[in-house]
Amino acid sequence: MPLTEPAVTTTAPAPAPLRVATRRRLLMCRPRHYDVTYSINPWMHPEKSTDTALAVRQWERLRDLYLELGHVVEEIDPIDGLPDMVFAANGATVVDGKVYGARFRHLQRTAEGPAYLDWFARRGHTELLWPEYVNEGEGDILTVGRRLLAGTGFRTDPRSHAEAQEFFGLPVTSLTLVDPNYYHLDTALAVLSDDEVMYYPAAFSEGSRSVLRTLFPHAILATAEDAAVFGLNAFSDGRHVLLPDAATGLKAQLSARGFEPIGVDLSELLKAGGSVKCCTLELRER
Ligand code: ARG
């Protein structure tokens, strides 16, 4: 049989798909003890002042937005002496109701791992794993449909990727981060739906960029400017995408794809290297 040339057709650009939000259950931690007292990432400058009251107000605005959108927000009590505990995303990874505990890289945050795991135990979860390997929860382990993307390079030990795959019984794809400004996967990539992401290519190794292109050929790509205002530290419910307000390029790209971007100002928390997604741990029940 002779090979045939693929047919060339000219069609109008496809209309943006209709986006449907699904109700999420979220865990957050009020930044009552928030401060920048040490530096474990390039954004943290303990010599500069922080305004805890302003951090609380900005955080409350984010929580209220979630509630207004119809999501359920649960709260874990903040612990004095753990100023980064506001970044609930780092506290665990929860999929199908199974809780994979976090084990932190830095001494300053190690007590957060057991504190979060204890919250889940008291909430009645029975499938809990205290991990053998360092992993910083949803900061580095993101769920896209029935697959997990797992970051490494700065915080999470790549051996935890296999541990998570075995525990959840879901395929885990390892991605290597190379830019210290984007030290957690959730600072360089955001999940938008069951099969769509947006990311900043330069934050990843060459091999990982190729993996991302293969898995998500139509992904939204962030500019350096949008990445630098933490535009990728975003939360999506399938329709609404909450992200730092300053990420103007991403907001336009999201709108063009039929999403509804909602800009949020978390400038105080950015002083610790965190924003929307860092403050939000998704409780994925079965
Ligand atoms: N100061 C915190 C740290 O460096 C910020 C964590 C941000 N959380 C996140 N999910 N990216 O560990």
Q: How far is the CA of 255 from the centre of ligand 1 (A)?
A: 28
Contacts of residue 212, Cβ cutoff 8 Å, sequence gap at least 6: 175, 189, 197, 199, 201, 204, 219
Q: Is 96 left (phi over 0), alpha (psi -120 to 50) or beta?
A: left
For 137, phi then psi, to 5°, come to: 60, -145
pLDDT on residue 95: 98
**pLDDT value at 1 more than 90:** no
HSE, side-chain direction, 13 A CA sphere, residue 183: 19
pLDDT on residue 49: 95
**pLDDT value at 107 more than 60:** yes
pLDDT on residue 15: 77
Tens-digit pLDDT profile for residues 251-276: 999 999 999 999 999 999 999 999 99
Concatenated DSSP letters of 5-55: PPPP---PPPPPPPP-----EEEE---TT----S-SSTT--TTS---HHHH
Which ligand 1 atom is the nearest neighbour of the CA of 36? 1
pTM of the predicted structure, to 2 decimals: 0.95
Residue closest to 185 by CA, chosen among 166, 158, 218, 167: 158
Cβ(186) – ligand 1 distance below 6 Å: yes
Block residue for tokens 């769920």? 143
**pLDDT value at 2 more than 90:** no
Tens-digit pLDDT profile for residues 197-243: 999 999 999 999 999 999 999 999 999 999 999 999 999 999 999 99
Tens-digit pLDDT profile for residues 42-88: 999 999 999 999 999 999 999 999 999 999 999 999 999 999 999 99
Tens-digit pLDDT profile for residues 166-183: 999 999 999 999 999 999
Is 106 a residue of the active site? Answer: no
- CB 57: neighbour CB atoms within 10 A? 13
Cβ(84) – ligand 1 distance below 6 Å: yes
pLDDT on residue 24: 98
Contacts of residue 238, Cβ cutoff 8 Å, sequence gap at least 6: 19, 20, 21, 22, 192, 193
On average, the pLDDT of the chain sits at 96
HSE, side-chain direction, 13 A CA sphere, residue 215: 23
- Share of residues in the chain with pLDDT > 90 (%): 93
Q: Which of 29, 71, 161, 184 is the catalytic position? A: 184
Grouping H, G, I as helix, E, B as strand and the rest as coil, residue 283 is coil
**pLDDT value at 277 more than 70:** yes
CATH class of the domain at 25-282:
alpha beta
Q: How far is the CA of 9 from the centre of ligand 1 (A)?
A: 48
Which ligand 1 atom is the nearest neighbour of the CA of 87? 8
**pLDDT value at 5 more than 70:** no
* Domain edges within the chain: 25-282
Residue closest to 156 by CA, chosen among 130, 129, 181, 138: 138
Cβ(85) – ligand 1 distance below 6 Å: no
Residue closest to 182 by CA, chosen among 201, 197, 208: 201
Which ligand 1 atom is the nearest neighbour of the CA of 233? 11
pLDDT on residue 17: 85
Cβ(117) – ligand 1 distance below 6 Å: no
In this prediction, residue 14 has a pLDDT band, given cuts at 50, 70 and 90, of: confident
281 close to 91: Cβ distance less than 8 angstroms: yes
Which ligand 1 atom is the nearest neighbour of the CA of 137? 10
CA-closest residue to ligand 1 atom 1: 272
Cβ(150) – ligand 1 distance below 6 Å: no
Cβ(275) – ligand 1 distance below 6 Å: no
Is 278 a residue of the active site? Answer: yes
Helix (H) or strand (E) holding 281: strand 281-282
Tokens of 167: 């525990």
Average pLDDT estimate for 143-160? 98
